[in-house]
Amino acid sequence: PKQRSGAMGLVFSGTAIGTGLIFAAGGVVIEQWGWRAVFLISGIPGILLAIFIWLKLEEPPRSTDKDEAVVALPMMQAAKFFVGNRTVFFGSVGATIAAMNISSIWVWVTPILVREQGYSLAAAGAIVGVAAGVVKFLSGILSGFLSDIIAKGRLSRLWIVPSIALSLSVPVGFGIAYAPAPW
């Protein structure tokens, strides 16, 4: 438990690779074949991974012991737990707000670079791809380990790093939107 944030940061930093690659390639793909082609190209790695898993990974053995069978909670019981457990509820609300914040920035940076700063779509995609790939990857890893260090095993302190990071993202977001020059 004392290293869980670092491990989760490492896992979630993997999404940065896909984000970076699709933004970097997306601008070029759009200029060559149109925006629909980006969706086709972004799905190829998932299809290849699914084929690999289907062909190479074996289904783990299942228990035949009927006493070990797990029954799913009824939806209303799960909803009551979600609403009634402050940690789960506020953690989910916070994660949703953070995801909206992050998604909004990544989705709108490219059009801002194109429309406001005069970059080509390929150049803007490359810039955002590198930023998303490198910065998102490093921040995913570093924020997890930094949270572990600051929390020192106390779950009640795990909110500090994400809260500070989200707070700092607000002026950065305004800076992106109102920057007078590309630099």
Place of tokens 């590198």: 130
Question: Poorest-confidence range of 9-13, 48-52, 91-95?
Answer: 9-13
**Alpha carbons 92 and 89: distance in angstroms, whole number:** 5
The pLDDT of residue 65: 65
Q: What is the share, in percent, of the chain residues with pLDDT greater than 70?
A: 95
The distance from CA 1 to its chain's CA centroid, rounded to whole angstroms, is 22
| 4 vs 54, more confident | 54
The pLDDT of residue 68: 61
pLDDT digits (tens, 9 = 90+) for 46-73: 899 899 999 998 887 776 666 565 677 8
Q: What pTM does this model have?
A: 0.64
Concatenate the DSSP letters of all residues of 70-135 into one string. PPPPPHHHHHHHHHH-HHHHHHHHHHHHHHHHHHHHHHHHHHHHHHTT---HHHHHHHHHHIIIII
Query: Between the CA of residue 55 and those of 44, 46, 47, what are the distances in Å?
Result: 17, 14, 12
The pLDDT of residue 84: 92
